[in-house]
Amino acid sequence: MNLRADPAVARGQVALVTGASSGIGRATAQRFAAAGYRVAVNYATNAAAGEALAHRIGGAAFGCDVSDPVAVERMVGAVEAVLGPIDVAVCNAGFYEERPLEEVTDELWDRTLRVLLGGCFHVARAVVPAMRARGSGSIVAVASELALIGGVNVAHYVAAKAALIGLARSLARELAPTIRVNIVAPGAVDTPLLPDRDRGPVYTSTVPLGRIGRPEEIAEAILHVAEAPWTTGALYSPNGGVVIQ
């Protein structure tokens, strides 16, 4: 496990953000740091990006594959040793790969579930005992608008994200009133995971607000639900109006 800490970081609440080396995760880490949190920047393989971000925002970088429950337990222990007790855990780590059903291998199916669903489960299981002992905590699961409406060539991805919503809602009931658990399910956002076809006018013309989202907008939503004191089990989907419920 790799970690880096800035000794000058101010003492404040601690937020762990998984999958924080790019995209929504990076924007979320930056937003929490701007709000005064000491941020644990988790990355899977891109150590350079994770450590650079942690240095820039005065946090700490932790390399960990969230699909590995033992590694997650060790990471959570390291975060608490370096930064202090975890107040907020943002389960954002994931990947996106389109495949028609008949080309979804058992390996891809298993990996998708292990990372997208298992990753959040592992993080929650690791952070909850200390949160309960302290009497407070907040967990945010990052899902997808596709979990609400389905999609073409992404059955494996949608299945994992939809299950993630179910997991978070169940945890919200189980862990209340001590720990709040909420879900943010973004629409199409300008990150490296977004297919090029969803960046052009053919797609954006179908979005009521006329454009794709920005990572910073999703980060703002994540911070909001993480801190909302009378909100648990909620699903907030910033998607430009594609999904209106």
Query: Residue 169 above 50 pLDDT?
Result: yes
**Model's pTM, two decimal places?**
0.94
Q: Does a cis peptide bond (omega within 30 degrees of 0) precede residue 201?
A: no
Query: Residue 45 above 80 pLDDT?
Result: yes
Q: How far apart are CA 115 and CA 205, in angstroms?
A: 32
SS (H, E, C) the chain: CCEEECCCCCCCCEEEECCCCCHHHHHHHHHHHHCCCEEEEEECCCHHHHHHHHHHHCCEEEECCCCCHHHHHHHHHHHHHHCCCCCEEEECCCCCCCCCHHHCCHHHHHHHHHHHHHHHHHHHHHHHHHHHHHCCEEEEEECCCHHHHCCCCCHHHHHHHHHHHHHHHHHHHHHCCCEEEEEECCCCECCCCCCHHHHCHHHHCCCCCCCCECHHHHHHHHHHHHHCCCCCCCEECCCCCCCCC
- Percent of the chain surpassing pLDDT 70: 96
Question: Residues in the chain, how many?
Answer: 245
Predicted local distance difference test score (pLDDT) of residue 142 = 98
Sorting pLDDT into bands at 50, 70 and 90, what band is 10?
very low
Query: Residue 79 above 50 pLDDT?
Result: yes
Q: What is the overall mean pLDDT for the chain?
A: 94
Q: Which of 196, 139, 188, 134 is nearest to 164 (CA)?
A: 139
Predicted local distance difference test score (pLDDT) of residue 12 = 81
Token pair 């496990």 is found at 1
Tell me which residues are annotated as active site.
Answer: 157
Give the mean pLDDT of 158-171: 98
| C-beta atoms surrounding 77 within 10 Å | 13
Sorting pLDDT into bands at 50, 70 and 90, what band is 3?
very low
222, 142 Cβ separation under 8 angstroms = yes
Q: How far apart are CA 131 and CA 76, in angstroms?
A: 12
Query: Residue 7 above 70 pLDDT?
Result: no
Paired tokens of 224: 């909001």
Q: How far apart are CA 133 and CA 171, in angstroms?
A: 17
86, 93 Cβ separation under 8 angstroms = no
Predicted local distance difference test score (pLDDT) of residue 193 = 87
Q: In order of start, what are the domains of the chain with their CATH numbers?
A: 3-236 (3.40.50.720)
User: Which residues on adjacent β-strands are paired with residue 43?
Assistant: 63
pLDDT tens per residue across span 87-102 = 999 999 999 999 999 9
